[in-house]
Amino acid sequence: MKFSKLSQLFLVSTIGLLVATGLTACQLVSIDYVFVADSAGNSAGSAGQIETYAVDAHSGALRIVAAAVPSGGVKPVALAVSGNYYQLYVANAASKNVVHFSIADSGVLTKVDSITLPETPVALAVSAASNFLYVVYGSSSATLAEYPLSSSGAIGAVASQQSLSVPGFASDSLVPTGVALIPNNNNTTVAPANNAVYVSAYDSSAYNPGGTPTSTANPGWVFGFIVGSNGALTPAANSPYQAGVKPSGITADPVSRFIYVTDFASNQLIGYSIQNSGSLNFLVNGPFRTGNQPSAIAIDPRGKFIYNANSLDSSIGGYTISLPTGTPSAIVSTSSVSVFNTDTAPAAIALEPAIGRFIYTANYLGNSVSGFRYDPSNGAVTQTQATPYPSGANPTALAIVPHGNHSLQTVTP
């Protein structure tokens, strides 16, 4: 059959339009960079490495965008980014150091400087104004240290530090597990409740699975400190606060009203309200049930939802936050329970801030990162395309920074 010239022109135009449409539909738009710490590493850093992924705006799928870099030490266990998203800090447990990297617009990391610690680092946090780095370290004794940061993110000499101990049980072994800053900890002139830092820890003398406890103290604790005008740390009123048996993850909501802690040993989520003095009060209707062995926790940047990683179940759990009371209630997926499944043994969880629609877990035994999309209206979860995404060996930590010109999904206190 022969076509007229007009028919041929129409056919060519149609094909061209379809091809262009297909290319546009397949175009990848990166909205965030996800940094993953691999504690065992590979050829890029056999003692530990940091990988860089980009988040696709449409699917939430991850793709490698830069070569992995050595973590600057041995066995990285924690990551933190500055409030302006230009600096990344890595805690290396075995080498007892914290390494500072600058973040390029392309996601490429460049090592800048480092500090050496007297004990094993466990957790990191950076103030919203990017002027202080908080490091929690110790394997049988716990210390919170505060380091000033220059305008370029360089780490200065320690400004303040606090040794943590259980009242009345000073000789007990205390193991720190996490640190959280209330999100508007961004200057030194606001009220004390707006400049506070909280540390989770457990008393291993009182909690000794498989052995005999040597202490009658409550095992789990949260310590609170007010940050003074010169960076001095002062214990909050009535600190420390009981926190179940073995607190594992700790986080604060974006408007500085609530603190949430996961209890690894009792499979619970514990909530506190933050008082004007910086002290904590239990949420009256808690604690709240989680999956088995919750290891980490994160909050939606809008302050509406909580998600936690359950290491034994290889799953995530989701909760809607009652804004008046802070009470979490479990999110139930309408499709299938399996959508909450991660790869094996998630050790960390993070939510991306650019559009606030995707969740990622670092799966320690799965050697992978799992991705989820969540509905910003009701918190319902579905798995992202092609999840899980391969990583290096034994990933332990995640950190996410926005990429491009986006209105970040945050709320202002």
Before 240, cis peptide (omega within 30)? yes
Task: Give residue 410's pLDDT.
Answer: 56
pLDDT in tens, 67-116: 999 999 999 999 999 999 999 999 999 999 999 999 999 999 999 999 99
pLDDT in tens, 245-271: 999 999 999 988 999 999 999 999 999
Q: Is the separation of the CB atoms in 32 and 353 below 8 Å? A: yes
| Highest mean pLDDT (candidates 28-42, 116-130, 173-187) | 116-130
DSSP 55-89: EETTT--EEEEEEEEE-SSSSEEEEEE-TTSSEEE
* Residue from 225, 216, 266, 227 nearest 243 by CA: 266
d(CA 80, CA 128): 11
Residue type, 110: T
- For 341, the 3-state DSSP assignment is strand
* DSSP, res 340: G
pLDDT in tens, 4-43: 433 443 443 343 333 333 433 445 688 999 999 999 877 6
Residues 6+ apart with CB under 8 A from 257: 273, 274, 326
Q: Which two tokens stand for residue 27?
A: 């175009």
What is the percentage of the chain residues whose pLDDT exceeds 90? 77
pLDDT in tens, 324-357: 999 999 987 656 566 799 999 999 999 999 999 9
End-to-end CA distance of the chain: 70
Q: Which two tokens stand for residue 169?
A: 């049980």
Q: Is the separation of the CB atoms in 112 and 103 below 8 Å? A: no
How many other C-beta atoms can be found within 10 angstroms of the C-beta atom of residue 238? 13
What number of CA atoms fall less than 13 Å from residue 327's CA on the CB side? Answer: 6
Residues 6+ apart with CB under 8 A from 38: 48, 49, 50, 51, 68, 76, 391, 392, 393, 394, 395, 396
Q: Is the separation of the CB atoms in 28 and 60 below 8 Å? A: no
d(CA 224, CA 135): 14
Residue 317, CA distances (Å) to 138, 140, 297, 308, 342 in order:
29, 30, 9, 5, 11
At residue 202's C-alpha, the angle toward residues 201 and 205, to 5°, is: 145
Confidence bin at 183 (pLDDT 50/70/90): low
Q: Which two tokens stand for residue 272?
A: 């506190």
Confidence bin at 272 (pLDDT 50/70/90): very high
What number of CA atoms fall less than 13 Å from residue 241's CA on the CB side? Answer: 25
**Res. 406: pLDDT tops 90:** no
Before 287, cis peptide (omega within 30)? yes
Q: Which two tokens stand for residue 305?
A: 């939802």
Q: Which CATH class is domain 30-402?
A: mainly beta
pTM score, whole prediction = 0.89
Look over the chain and give the mean of its residue pLDDT values, rounded to a whole number: 88
